[in-house]
Every structure is written in structure tokens, then in C-alpha cells.
Amino acid sequence: MKRMTSRILALALCVAICACLAACDNSGSSEKSQYVVGICQLVTHDSLDLATQGFQDALTEALEAEGKTVEFKEQNAQGDPNTCVTIVNNFVSEKVDLILGNATAALQAAYNATETIPVLGTSITEYGVALALENFDGVVGGNVSGTSDLAPLDEQAQMMIDVLNLGADSTVGILYCSAEPNSEYQYNVVSAYFQDKGMNVIEYKFSESTELQSIVTKASGECDAIYVPTDNTVASNDEILRNVCGPDKTPVFTGYESDVCFATLAISYYNIGAETGKMAADILLGREDISQMAIRYDSQPVKKYNAAICEELGIDTAALDAQGYVVRESAA
């Protein structure tokens, strides 16, 4: 009887230990000493590149402070949303610890690929629009959160009006890719602002980058100025705008830092990437629950101007200096 009782106790103890080990194994990656993070970036251009770099730097630093390391599996979809799907599905198959979706199509692919692996987005303008969320309140929930690249659109529009002295008889063209829902969202907001000021607004939307040359040429010939939202397709083809609008002396304002624009109210893509990296560290280390993490923003966008382009357009940079603008020299 004593022997039987001992065996039962031993079996119970073994079950308890196994359960404990299983719980530790599934309690989250905070038990690990090394993590694997998949990064899917939609396309190569300066803004997204900076966001990825900021993410990697901040996450690496935060984990090293805890004596842990991270391996990044970085993939670029070269502008193809379908490639984003393939990339993130591979990440899910490899059971990475966390996925970063850099730009809307990358986030959408990760959002649809997994409900268990933590997914963070960056360089996303509006998560409610990107993920088709009704009554979005700032928290996606589930396994998704991230950072936004949205700057105050009304302030951008007014800044453009003020610097160019645009009046009620002015015509502004808004250029964006119809395949990017966040660009359409920005179009709706900014066009309404210009129209409220009595200005004429012309929509120039396209679906393929091969259409960009012709549509930019048309816009440059018809408008006093062109506004470009944080559109990845346009941003990755900035040289087309520069080659067309530069000789025409058509002012271009972009919602992101660019060598083609005369000025912008810009967020730092490196900073939002770094903030996303800090969020990733908190998730991996078990400090925060991703389902409760609100979308974060760059709270201090900076007014910048391109000195070379302002000179070409005859814009008074001394006046901009007096208003607190920061010089951004062209990289060209």
C-alpha cells in the first residue's frame, strides 16, 4: 500500500513538473535568450528604410540591456503586395517570435496570416482604414499594434497655402496611388481642407507606377502646386516628380521628407521605427500585452524646407527661418 502510494505521488509529481515545463515553454518568449523577428518591408525608399533601421536599433539595444539577443529576418517585397503575403507566410511557417509589417500592404499581409504571433506595424497612416476596422478607437486588439506616420494633415495643408501664398483661385493637384487605402484617406481629408478655403482641387490617382510619368506631367501642366500624401508608390518614384516638376517650376509638397518637395511638416521615420522597436521589446519580454497597446505617433513633427528647391521657386527662406523652419538640404 505504501509502495502504491509512493508510485502515485511520484507520478503526480512528474505530471506537475511536465505541466510546469510546458507552461514555461508557452508562457511567451520572455523565457528565451535569443529571439527571431521577421521584418517585411513593402518597398525600398528612404522613409521606410529609416523606420526599419530605427526598429532594429531600438529592439537590439533593449534586448541587449537584458542580456538577450535578436536575429532579424529582413525581406523586401519590392512594391508587390502579393510578395508581402508570401514573405509573412514564410515567417509564420518558421514560427518567428514577432513580425514587423513596414507599410500598409506588409501589415495587412501579416494581419491576415496569423492570430497568434505578435504583429507590429510601422509607417502606417491610419490603422482603422488599413485593417478595415469599424469604430476604431486607437487599439487594434488581438495580436496587432504599432506606430503611425500620420502628421497633422490640416497643418500640412495650411503650411502649403502659407508658404506658396495660395489664394481662392489657386488649383492644387493631389497625387496618389489608388491601391493604397491610406493615401485615399489622406486625399479625402486634405482635399476637403483646400475646398473649405475656396480653392480648386484636382484628383490625380493612378493604380500602377507605370502610369506615374504621364499623370505627373498632366498635373504639373494643370496645377499651381501638387500635394502628395505619405504614398509609398510615389515615394519610391520621387525622381519622376523631380524630373517633371523641377523644369516646370511646379511646387511639390509631400507628407514625408523628400528631395522633391520644397517643404514639409515631417515626422521622423527613424523615431517611429525606434518606438516600434521599444514596443517589440516590451512584448517579447512579457512587460506588456499587445492586445492592450494603443497605436503610437510621433508627437513632434518638424517643419522643414529644401533650400535648393526653395531657391529655384523663389520662396523667401529668410521668412521660413523666422517661422522656425529647419533646413533640409537636398541629397541630390
- 146 domain-assigned: yes
15 pLDDT more than 90:
no
Asked whether residue 218 is domain-assigned, the answer is: yes
Residues 315 and 175 in one domain: yes
Tens-digit pLDDT profile for residues 90-134: 999 999 999 999 999 999 999 999 999 999 999 999 999 999 999
**Pair 218, 188 in one domain:** yes
Residue 67 lies in a domain: yes
Give the chain's length. 332
The structure's pTM equals 0.81
DSSP secondary structure code for residue 141 in this structure:
B
Count of domains forming the chain = 2
**Res 9 pLDDT > 70:** no
169 located within any domain: yes
Closest among 109, 155, 153 to 130, alpha carbons compared: 109
Is residue 255 within 8 Å of residue 156, measured between CB atoms?
A: yes
Domain of residue 158, residue span: 153-266+302-327
**332 belongs to a structural domain:** no
**Residues 285-305 pLDDT 10s:** 999 999 999 999 998 899 999
Does 323 lie in the same domain as 200?
Answer: yes
Shared-domain flag, residues 251 and 321 = yes
Provide the sign of the torsion angle of the four alpha carbons 205, 210, 214, 220, taken in this order.
positive
User: Predicted confidence band at 19 (pLDDT cuts at 50, 70, 90)?
Assistant: very low
What is the grid cell recorded at 78? 519590392
The residue with greater pLDDT, 31 or 17, is 31
Grid cell digits, residue 316? 523667401
pLDDT value at residue 199: 97
Residue 307 sits in the same domain as residue 206: yes
Looking only at the bridges linking them, the beta strands covering 69-76 and 225-228 are unpaired
Task: Note the pLDDT tens digit of each residue in 175-231.
Answer: 999 989 999 999 999 999 999 999 999 999 999 999 999 999 999 999 999 999 999
* pLDDT attached to residue 14: 44
Q: Tell me how far apart the alpha carbons of residues 332 and 327 are, in angstroms, rounded to a whole number.
A: 15
Give the number of other CB atoms < 10 A from CB of residue 88.
28
Span 4-31, average pLDDT: 44
pLDDT band of 329, cuts 50, 70, 90: low
Highest mean pLDDT among 228-237, 263-272, 278-287: 278-287
> What secondary structure letter does DSSP report for 293?
P
One domain, residues 185 and 83: no
Assess whether 162 and 237 both reside in one domain: yes
pLDDT value of position 257 = 86
Residues 223 and 277 placed together within one structural domain of the fold:
no
User: 58 vs 10, 20, 271, 276, CA distance in Å?
Assistant: 47, 33, 9, 8
Q: What sign results for the dihedral spanned by CA atoms 131, 132, 137, 142? A: negative
Distance of CA 203 to the CA centre of its chain: 23
Q: Are residues 234 and 321 in the same domain?
A: yes
The phi, psi pair for 305, rounded to 5°, reads: -135, 150
| One domain for residues 161 and 293 | no
| Residue 17 banded pLDDT, cuts 50, 70, 90 | very low
In a domain, 69, yes or no: yes
Q: Answer yes or no: is 306 within a domain.
A: yes
Q: Which residue in this structure is represented by grid cell 491610419?
A: 126
Q: Are 238 and 306 in contact (CB under 8 A)?
A: no
1 vs 232, which has greater pLDDT? 232
- Is the same domain home to 204 and 310? yes
Asked whether residue 7 is domain-assigned, the answer is no
- Do 75 and 187 fall within a single domain? no
**For residue 170, what is the domain's CATH number?**
3.40.50.2300
